[in-house]
């Protein structure tokens, strides 16, 4: 007999056949490896001034990517700034997914007034201009990695909530939900153990893409000077050097490229997951 393959295992097999997605995953592994190395193993003070300000890449040996407007080594800043950037991306995405799934699941499963209430709340957060609202939150609570992640999570969950709700509305009508009820399963078991596992594929995709969006969001806030002043992040590097853009492109372009490649890799992986979970889209 054939070996039992779980639906997740099958999707993984499908994912591995998708070349852009695998390339994205490889790129992501390289970037994450670089960031982890910089955060945990690489010992150098990123704030140390190593040479004159705005030294071009390759101009001087030992400073491969040049220096920023204060003369700090961009390569070292890049290594040290990746960790906070990714931490914000991941924790904001996690918060988005947790709030979004909780709201969407309850609204979609119970319907009625619960649905009305939660959806009005979702709409309230959805119509607020996300960046402005995040800026208000960050300035209110003093910028730190935690408040920034929190602010990004708070402005991004409505999309996940709507997606979750739609999935729950569809799945709760299926016969295996009635069947689960007929063996005596209660509401919480049906929500978390019967419906949610079946609703996960689109949510995994959306969570992956949210990581990319959150990293961009953090960069945006830092660019506007609302990043955590005590922590180096890629977005902050861009923000601090933007006044010198006309004299030196590299202190802005290099962290910009780092963000670009990270988000690009995450999107490729997210798209690959989407194709892997949606066999119907595969042929297109």
Partner 1 sequence: MSPLMSLSDLRVEFDTRHGRVTALSGISLDVMPGETLGIVGESGCGKSITALAMMGLIPNPPGHVTGGVIEFDGEDITRASNRRLRQLRGRDIAMIFQEPMTSLNPVFTVGDQIAEAILLHQDMSRAEADRQVIELLETVGIPEPEARAKSYPHQLSGGMRQRVMIAMAISCRPKLLIADEPTTALDVTVQAQIFDLMRDIQAKFGVAIVLITHDMGAIAEMTDRVAVMYAGRVIEQGTSDQILDTPLHPYTRGLIGCIPVLGRAAASTDRLPPLAEIPGVVPPLHLLGDGCAFAERCALADDHCRAVRPPLDDKGHPVACHHAGEIA
Interface positions with partner 1 (CB under 8 A): 1-2, 4-8, 111-112, 174-176, 178-186, 193-194, 197-198
Side-chain half-sphere CA neighbours of 209 within 13 A: 15
Which lies closer to partner 1 via its Cβ, residue 74 or residue 191? 191
The one-character DSSP state at 130 is H
Q: How many residues does the chain have?
A: 284
For the bound state, the minimum distance from the C-beta of residue 194 to partner 1, rounded and expressed in Å, comes to 6
Do residues 77 and 121 lie in contact, with contact meaning Cβ atoms separated by under 8 Å? Answer: no
Which lies closer to partner 1 via its Cβ, residue 61 or residue 175? 175
For the bound state, the minimum distance from the C-beta of residue 175 to partner 1, rounded and expressed in Å, comes to 4
Element (H, E) at 114: helix 112-127
Which lies closer to partner 1 via its Cβ, residue 10 or residue 247? 10
* CA atoms of 221 and 215, how far apart (whole Å): 10
Q: Which residue has the tokens 């963000």?
A: 259
For the bound state, the minimum distance from the C-beta of residue 279 to partner 1, rounded and expressed in Å, comes to 12
For the bound state, the minimum distance from the C-beta of residue 205 to partner 1, rounded and expressed in Å, comes to 16
The one-character DSSP state at 55 is P
Buried b (16+ CB within 10 A) or exposed e, 158-180: bbbbbbbbebbeebbeeeebeeb
Q: Which residue has the tokens 């799934």?
A: 101
For the bound state, the minimum distance from the C-beta of residue 183 to partner 1, rounded and expressed in Å, comes to 4
Q: How far is CA 100 from CA 95, 118, 162, 253, in A?
A: 8, 11, 8, 34
Which lies closer to partner 1 via its Cβ, residue 62 or residue 112? 112
For the bound state, the minimum distance from the C-beta of residue 269 to partner 1, rounded and expressed in Å, comes to 21
For the bound state, the minimum distance from the C-beta of residue 206 to partner 1, rounded and expressed in Å, comes to 18
Which lies closer to partner 1 via its Cβ, residue 43 or residue 182? 182
Do residues 80 and 201 lie in contact, with contact meaning Cβ atoms separated by under 8 Å? Answer: no
Which lies closer to partner 1 via its Cβ, residue 5 or residue 30? 5
Which lies closer to partner 1 via its Cβ, residue 12 or residue 249? 12
* CA atoms of 216 and 236, how far apart (whole Å): 12
């Amino acid at each position: 007999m054939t070996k039992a393959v779980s639906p997740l295992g099958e999707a993984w097999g499908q994912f591995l056949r998708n070349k852009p997605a695998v390339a994205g995953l490889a790129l992501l592994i390289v970037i994450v490896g670089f960031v982890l190395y910089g955060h945990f193993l690489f010992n150098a003070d990123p704030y140390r001034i190593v040479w004159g300000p705005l030294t071009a890449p390759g101009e001087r040996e030992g400073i491969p990517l040049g220096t920023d407007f204060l003369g700090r080594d961009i390569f070292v800043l890049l290594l040290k700034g990746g960790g906070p950037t990714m931490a914000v991306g991941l924790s904001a995405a996690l918060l988005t997914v947790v709030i979004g799934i909780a709201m969407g699941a309850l609204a979609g499963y119970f319907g009625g007034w619960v649905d009305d209430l939660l959806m009005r709340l979702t709409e309230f957060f959805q119509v607020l201009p996300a960046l402005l609202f995040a800026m208000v939150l960050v300035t209110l609570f003093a910028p730190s990695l935690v408040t920034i992640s929190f602010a990004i999570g708070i402005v991004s969950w409505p999309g996940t909530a709507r997606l979750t709700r739609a999935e729950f509305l569809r799945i709760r009508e299926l016969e295996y939900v009635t069947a689960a009820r007929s063996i005596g399963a209660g509401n919480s078991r049906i929500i978390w153990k019967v419906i949610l596992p079946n609703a996960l594929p689109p949510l995994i995709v959306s969570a992956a893409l949210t990581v990319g969006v959150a990293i961009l969001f953090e960069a945006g806030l830092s660019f506007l000077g609302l990043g955590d002043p005590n922590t180096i992040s890629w977005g902050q590097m861009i923000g601090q050097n933007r006044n010198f853009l006309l004299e030196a492109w590299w202190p802005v372009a290099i962290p910009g490229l780092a963000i670009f490649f990270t988000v690009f890799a995450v999107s490729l992986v997210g798209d690959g997951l989407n194709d892997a979970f949606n066999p119907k889209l595969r042929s297109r």
